[in-house]
């Protein structure tokens, strides 16, 4: 079984970045920084520039989209409903449980897990829809 549309994989990765930019920017950026305990000075002292972080983020989004496309092929996802179910189970079984570690082991607020978890679920759902609709 092979991925039939690599443009869809690229589109899913771009969608992931756009959702993240909106979610962690104008939509919930201030809330996210507060929950992370980051002020303006801490943001300026990050080890990567915004451009570097976006570049590496794009590579990670591309990997996620590619792997999600493989899951779609292996599981025979053909419909919008199937795409949303796939996104949900991947989110619940891999993403959310990993993000919960920030609360469990790093002492981050539970609200941060909810904020990040919601962004991940929306992102995975949109990515999965793109991959199925343009296969």
Report yes or no on 55 lying in a domain. yes
For residue 127, tell me if it sits in a domain.
yes
Asked, for residue 15, whether it belongs to a domain, the answer is yes
pLDDT at 40: 83
Residue 105 CB: number of other CB atoms within 10 A? Answer: 8
Domain enclosing residue 99, as ranges: 6-133
pLDDT at 50: 84
The answer to whether residue 34 is domain-embedded is yes
> Which of 126, 125, 96 minimizes the C-alpha distance to 113?
96
Answer for the pair 57, 20: CB distance below 8 angstroms, yes or no.
Answer: yes
Q: Give the H or E element holding residue 131.
A: helix 110-133
Question: What's the angle, vertex CA 17, arms to CA 37 and CA 131, rounded to 5?
Answer: 135
| pTM passes above 0.95 | no
Question: What pLDDT does residue 1 have?
Answer: 54
SS3 assignment, position 22: helix
* Number of folded domains that form the chain: 1
Query: What's the chain's Rg over C-alpha atoms?
Result: 16
Nearest-angstrom CA–CA distance, 50 and 12: 21
For residue 1, tell me if it sits in a domain. Answer: no
Give me the pLDDT at residue 2, please.
82
Nearest CA-CA partner of 124 in 88, 82, 94? 88
Residue 54 domain-assigned?
yes
The reply to whether 86 falls in a domain is yes
Predicted confidence pLDDT, tens digits, the chain (135 residues):
588 899 999 999 999 999 999 999 999 999 999 999 988 888 888 899 889 999 999 999 999 999 999 999 999 999 999 999 999 999 999 999 999 999 999 999 999 999 999 999 999 999 999 999 998
What one-character-per-residue DSSP string does 59-107 give?
HHHHHHHHHHHHHHHHTT--SHHHHHHHHHHHIIIIIIHHHTHHHHTT-
Residue 19, in any domain of the structure: yes
Query: What pLDDT is stored for residue 60 in this prediction?
Result: 97
């Amino acid at each position: 079984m092979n991925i039939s549309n690599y443009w869809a994989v690229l589109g899913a990765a771009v969608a992931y970045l756009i959702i993240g930019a909106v979610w962690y920017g104008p939509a919930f950026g201030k809330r996210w920084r507060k929950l992370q305990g980051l002020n303006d000075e801490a943001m300026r002292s990050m080890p990567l520039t915004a451009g570097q972080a976006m570049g590496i983020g794009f590579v990670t989004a591309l990997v996620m989209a590619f792997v999600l496309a493989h899951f779609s092929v292996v599981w025979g996802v053909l419909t919008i409903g199937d795409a949303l179910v796939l996104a949900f189970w991947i989110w619940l079984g891999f993403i959310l449980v990993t993000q919960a570690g920030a609360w469990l082991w790093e002492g981050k607020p539970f609200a941060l897990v909810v904020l990040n978890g919601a962004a991940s679920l929306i992102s995975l759902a949109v990515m999965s829809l793109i991959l199925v609709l343009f296969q």
